A and B are shown apart, each in its own frame.
Chain A
Amino acid sequence: MTLDKVKLHKRVKIVRLGMCDQKVKRRLQELGFIRNQIIEKIFVALFNDPIVIKIRNYSVAISVNILKDIEVCE
């Protein structure tokens, strides 16, 4: 399952960052998006994009085209 499909307020665990853009991947890793990290979707903007993700006690807004490349599990 990818992060864009996860329901609001559901806590999930990161499995893999599958994006091709290595710059974006590195940025997310450095923000704490690493394997087994628990994250939660907390807010969705109008048109369902971007989405605010709560990670390690802070919030990051990310566009859906990036979330589609983040594999997660429950």
Chain B
Amino acid sequence: MRIGLIGNQNSGKSTIFNYLTNSRQQVGNWAGVTVDKKEVSINDNIIVDLPGVYSLNGYTIEENITINYINKLDVIVNVLDVTNLSRGLYLTLQLIDLNIPMVIVLTKQDKVNINVSRLSLLLDISVVDKSINEIVNKARNSSLNFKCENEDQAISKRYDYIDSILSSVLDECKENNCVDKIILNKYLSIPLFIFVMFIVYYISFNTISVYLNDIINNWFLFIESKISTLSIPPFYISLINDGILNSLGVVVSFIPSISLLYLCLTFLETTGYMSRISFIMDKMFRLIGLNGKSIISFIMGTSCSVPGILVSRTIENTDQRYITALLTSLIPCSAKMTIIMMFAKILFPVNTGIYIFFIYIISVFFIFLMAFILRKWIFYNTTNYYINEITDYEIPNIKKVLKITYNKITSFLKRVSKTLIISSIVIWFLYNISFDFSFVNMDGSILGVVSRKIAFLFYPFLGKNSYECAIAIVEGFVAKERVTSSLLISSKLNDMSVAELFNNSVAMYAFLIFNLFCFPCISSIVTLKKEIGLRLVLLFLVFQTFFAYVVAIIIYHIGILL
């Protein structure tokens, strides 16, 4: 039996899904947390978590996923948020008209007094607890019917009935939260948002994480020194120390900072601030062809571009969705963060967190510039309107916040460990093996020879033919954290520091900017292709790499003059 969870956006479907299936699906207090269907089999039943919908007329891609799937369901579990009963019941009455066996599960019952038995009676549908047996046994068709020949009449008929239900099942209505008088204040909202983001980055990169990063770094150095003293061939010592531990150590040492960033962003997500950020930034975003909802994609993209790109599905307008998805791939994600942190530590050993925040500000400036260019020459016919629900505030549940953060960290670690260890070993071998498979030094190695042939491409912003940097850029195509580890392996094998691989600090800036804005990693490209098609993605990749190249050259030459 196929059981589907259907309800408004942000009604708590994923929380119910996690409870029923013991899964770890992401939850949050903003519309669009779930943008694709998720299925889990339990005994003979398949439980399906579907993206939220306001009605059975789809306006966005993620809403259409739900609507197109409904007819495959044997049982509908309508998840109703009692704090937004009026809006939720509209969907309930539409679902009733489908004549598919149905039950209702209520969420957020602790916040409003509701007469559950009366609600069940008026809808002629069972209201059940979170139990699969109860769902299967009590699902039935309602005797109600709101179908009309004219859809306008049907809408009015449904709302008339909703009014009669509300007056008899709800004791009290919630009041508007006075916090919004400050958060959504016309003049305070934007400075407050910038301040909040500054605090998030300050906490993440300039507090306890600095000490934890150093402790982890020292711990890896200690292991490396112990391995160096072992009586094994130097070949293996170099493989373990230079090939694996060196790059792994640096990425792992960034985990405390990235974990704190995840924690702060998850905290914001669960409070309900995300929908407000969308409202605050909408007008500015629409001026450059984006939408207030784009900022949610961008913030999600700071963890990983892939979920950020997928969240753009919540945007109704196709052109705005395309621009948002493309630009999300430019947001400094946690992988790019490792590159930023490495250079930040070299260039600004003190107050690194503030420097990182400013790198973000520069990134946002370039992203706005690209959005402007895309709107001006490619998506010039974009009509822009904005409709977005402002979700209620919630006091974050610490346990829930920690659980979501933990899931994000483990998923980052899994991704990194999968690509990093294997590719580090491969790169180490390519650095030490020649084309005739004999062990040679770096200059005669496969990577050394190949990278020398392409190093001239990056001469205009590096000021020299640096094959170490050329390799790092190419490796970044696979995964951006590879850039960091590649530079570290190169510097270790050359007995140099990373800074010594560059002519000067200006070349480091130019290299950093190029890596932030050139082609994204393969997984982002695959996701983009799925969302907006190959032709447009290829066009954008060429455009963004050319853009990054030009910006890096400008930075280098202006920097040299200064």
B59 within 8 A of A: yes
**CA–CA, A47 and B292, complex, Å:** 14
Asked if B390 and A61 sit within 8 Å, CB to CB, the answer is yes
With an 8 Å Cβ cutoff, the count of chain A residues facing the other chain is 33
With A31-B54, A46-B187, A56-B87 as contacts: A63 and B384 at CB distance below 8 Å: yes
A10 at the interface (CB under 8 A from B): no
Residue in A34, A56, A62 with the greatest tally of chain B CB atoms within 10 Å: A56
- Evaluate contact between A30 and B189: CB separation under 8 angstroms: no
1/0 contact string of A18-39 vs chain B (CB within 8 Å): 0001011011111110110100
Q: Which residues of A contact B173 (CB under 8 A)?
A: 57
Q: Given A46-B186, A46-B283: A58 and B84 within 8 A (CB)?
A: yes
Least Cβ–Cβ distance between A64 and chain B, in angstroms: 9
Known A59-B176, A60-B390: A32·B385 in contact at CB below 8 Å: no
**A30 and B387 within 8 A (CB):** no
The segment from B152-160, B450-458, B480-488 that touches chain A is B152-160
What string of 1s and 0s marks CB contacts (under 8 Å) between B176-194 and chain A?
1000100010110110000
A21 to B317, CA, bound (A): 12
Q: Nearest-CB distance from A36 to chain B (Å)?
A: 9
Do most interface residues of chain A lie in helix, strand or loop, or is the interface mixed? mixed
Bound form: Cα–Cα A34–B390 in Å:
20
Looking across the interface, which residue of chain A has its beta carbon closest to that of B276? A61
Q: How many A-B residue pairs have CB under 8 A?
A: 105
B59, B84, B189, B385 — most chain A CB neighbours (10 Å): B385
Is A12 on the interface with B (CB-CB < 8 A)? no
* B residues 371-419 in Cβ contact with A at 8 Å: 384-390
B390–A59 touching, CB < 8 Å? yes
From known contacts A58-B84, A66-B385, infer whether A50 and B390 are also in contact, taking CB-CB under 8 Å: no
Min CB–CB distance B124 → chain A (angstroms): 22
A54: interface (CB < 8 Å) = yes
A29 to chain B, nearest CB (A): 5
Q: Does B226 contact A (CB under 8 A)?
A: no
Min Cβ gap A53→B in Å is 10
The reply to whether the CB of A15 lies closer than 8 angstroms to some CB of chain B is no
Q: Mark B270-286, 1 if CB is under 8 A from A, else 0.
A: 00000100111011001
Q: Which residues of A contact B388 (CB under 8 A)?
A: 60-61
CA distance A48 to B542 in the complex (A): 38
List, in ascending order, chain A residues with CB within 8 A of B55's CB.
27, 30
Which residues in B have their C-beta under 8 angstroms from that of A23? 59, 316
Of listed B173, B174, B187, B279, residue having the most chain A CB within 10 A: B279
Known: A27-B59, A30-B57, A50-B283. A63 touches B385 (CB 8 A): yes
Asked if B546 is an interface residue, CB under 8 A from chain A, the answer is no
CA distance A35 to B390 in the complex (A): 22
Q: Give the complex CA separation of A23 and B283 in angstroms.
A: 21
Tell whether, in the assembled complex, residue A60 and residue B387 are in contact, meaning their CB atoms are under 8 Å apart.
Answer: yes
Q: Given A63-B385, A66-B387, are A57 and B155 also a contact pair (CB < 8 Å)?
A: no
Report the minimum CB–CB distance from A33 to chain B (whole Å).
10
The answer to whether A29 and B155 touch (CB under 8 A), given A54-B176, A59-B389, A60-B387, is yes
B198 touches A (CB below 8 Å): no
Most chain A CB inside 10 Å of its own CB: which residue of B54, B59, B156, B390: B390
A34:B54 contact, CB within 8 angstroms: no
A24 to B156, CA, bound (A): 17
Residues of B within 8 A of A56 (CB): 86-87
How far is the CB of B252 from the nearest CB of chain A, in Å?
A: 41
Q: Is the C-beta of B146 less than 8 angstroms from some C-beta in chain A? A: no
Residues of A bordering B, CB below 8 Å = 21, 23-24, 26-32, 34-35, 37, 42-47, 49-50, 52, 54, 56-63, 65-66
B residues whose Cβ falls under 8 Å from a Cβ of A: 54-55, 57, 59, 84, 86-87, 90, 151-152, 155-156, 159, 173-174, 176, 180, 184, 186-187, 189-190, 275, 278-280, 282-283, 286, 292, 316, 384-390
Q: List 28 A-B contacts (CB under 8 A).
A: A24-B387, A27-B55, A27-B57, A27-B59, A29-B155, A31-B87, A31-B387, A37-B159, A43-B184, A46-B186, A46-B280, A50-B279, A56-B87, A57-B86, A57-B174, A58-B86, A59-B176, A59-B389, A60-B388, A60-B390, A61-B279, A61-B386, A61-B390, A62-B387, A63-B384, A65-B384, A66-B385, A66-B386
